[in-house]
């Protein structure tokens, strides 16, 4: 094991213990006669190469940085963001990448990119505080597992950015492009108001639009008779209570003809479904999660409550119960909505389910199912069930 690899391993495990090794790296960097012998330059080159390799193994900018934050530290996540931007500059991704990829690059949680500056100053000029996050990133990339290819990797991009592909059955239509901003605006109002009745009105209207649109698009797509455009999208799940939040996403996905798979390493879930359904799942997840967080914060604020609602066991039980009840309500709502359109939806949804299942098996041929034993708190469970009963969901019948 070389000095860089040893320092990366130690810095990842116990950053303060890496001091002596970092001092050696700084000495070697200062004494290097050329860039090819400078450990600072070698470290940066290795990291950029491994990032490019990660794209070919299914990773994307957003989930790579998110996984770094989940598995290491904020400084390492920031350094990874800078390295991802540097790799994008070097590979001309800004001119070649599809728009979704560019959106992730623009959304990285930093304001100052590496353009024009060094990721790690060579010649012995990098400080220990600059070395440690870079070493942590190297170790994380070294043990990074493969992911699923949801989009073409950079090796399959052309010399210029590809033109937007025309929509296939199940892809959002021009009407969806006009409607989604309306839905998002309504949900934003629902999430910002302090008045429950006003939030309920905004949320109900947004979800009514989503329900009507999803069913109408399904019927229109059925008339085309072509193969459905099934896609995978990653949803980044933030801590705390990531597993419980992922459980909420899963029940919403199931009720909307979409499959969800949890990735514990990256703390994200992959949704597989028609683009219209996936968008609806993401928006409904955001809305119900906001409502759950508010209800969990309010729980126990009445007379006689002295704080057990702040415990981890209470909040996990709250979120687990909330997710289960939301799933039950959404399943009932979906059944009623489909019944309102008659039997025409039966063969349409059957074709969709088959298309989604085929793509899911291609992406996850060896996926396993299981459960984790969760701590049980009766008060948290009851509070979560009540909050789910009070959450606003789509009505079974939607006015045109």
Query: In sequence order, what are the beta bridge partners of 231?
Result: 273
Distances (CA, A) of 91 to 300, 310, 353: 53, 47, 38
Predicted pLDDT at 89: 93
Report helix, strand or coil for 127. Answer: coil
Nearest to 250 by CA among 319, 179, 172: 319
Mean pLDDT across the chain, nearest whole number?
Answer: 82
For 105-119, the pLDDT digits (tens) are: 999 977 654 544 689
The single residue listed with the structure tokens 């860089």 is 4
Query: Contact at 8 Å (CB) between 380 and 309?
Result: yes
For 133-163, the pLDDT digits (tens) are: 999 999 999 999 999 999 999 999 986 665 5
Angstrom distance (rounded) from CA 63 to CA 65: 5
For 304-354, the pLDDT digits (tens) are: 455 555 688 888 888 998 888 888 877 777 777 677 777 777 788 788 889
* Strand 231-236 to 259-263 pairing: unpaired
């Amino acid at each position: 094991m070389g000095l860089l690899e040893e320092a990366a391993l130690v810095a990842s495990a116990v950053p303060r213990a890496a001091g002596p090794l970092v001092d050696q790296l700084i000495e070697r960097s200062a004494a290097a006669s050329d860039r090819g012998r400078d450990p600072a330059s070698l470290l940066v080159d290795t990291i950029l190469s491994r990032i490019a390799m990660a794209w070919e193994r299914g990773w994307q900018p957003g989930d790579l940085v998110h996984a770094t934050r989940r598995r290491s530290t904020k400084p390492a996540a920031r350094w990874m963001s800078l390295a991802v931007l540097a790799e994008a500059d070097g590979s001309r991704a800004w001119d070649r990448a599809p728009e979704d990829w560019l959106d992730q690059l623009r959304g990285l949680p930093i304001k100052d990119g590496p353009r024009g500056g060094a990721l790690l100053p060579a010649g012995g000029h990098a400080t220990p505080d600059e070395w440690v996050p870079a070493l942590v990133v190297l170790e994380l990339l070294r043990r990074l597992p493969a992911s699923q290819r949801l989009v073409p990797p950079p090796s399959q991009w052309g010399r210029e950015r590809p033109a937007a592909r025309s929509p296939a059955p199940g892809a959002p239509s021009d009407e969806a492009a006009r409607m989604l901003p309306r839905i998002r605006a309504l949900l934003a109002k629902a999430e910002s108001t302090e008045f429950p009745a006003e939030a309920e009105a905004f949320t109900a209207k947004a979800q009514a639009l989503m329900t009507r649109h999803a069913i109408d698009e399904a019927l229109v797509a059925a008339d085309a008779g072509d193969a459905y455009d099934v896609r995978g999208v990653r949803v980044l799940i933030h801590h705390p209570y990531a597993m419980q939040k992922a459980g909420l996403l899963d029940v919403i996905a199931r009720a909307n003809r979409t499959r969800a798979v949890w990735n514990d390493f990256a703390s994200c879930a992959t949704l597989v479904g028609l683009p219209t359904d996936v968008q609806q799942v993401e928006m409904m997840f955001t809305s119900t999660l906001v409502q759950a967080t508010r209800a969990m914060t309010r729980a126990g604020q009445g007379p006689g409550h002295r704080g057990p609602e702040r415990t981890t066991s209470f909040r996990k039980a709250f979120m687990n119960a909330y997710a289960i009840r939301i799933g039950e309500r959404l399943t009932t709502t979906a059944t009623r909505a489909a019944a309102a359109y008659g039997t025409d939806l039966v063969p349409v949804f059957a074709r969709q389910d088959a298309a989604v299942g085929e793509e899911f098996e291609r992406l996850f041929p060896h996926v396993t199912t299981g459960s984790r034993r969760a701590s049980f708190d009766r008060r948290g469970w009851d509070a979560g069930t009540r909050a789910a009963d009070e959450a606003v969901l789509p009505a079974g019948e939607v006015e045109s």
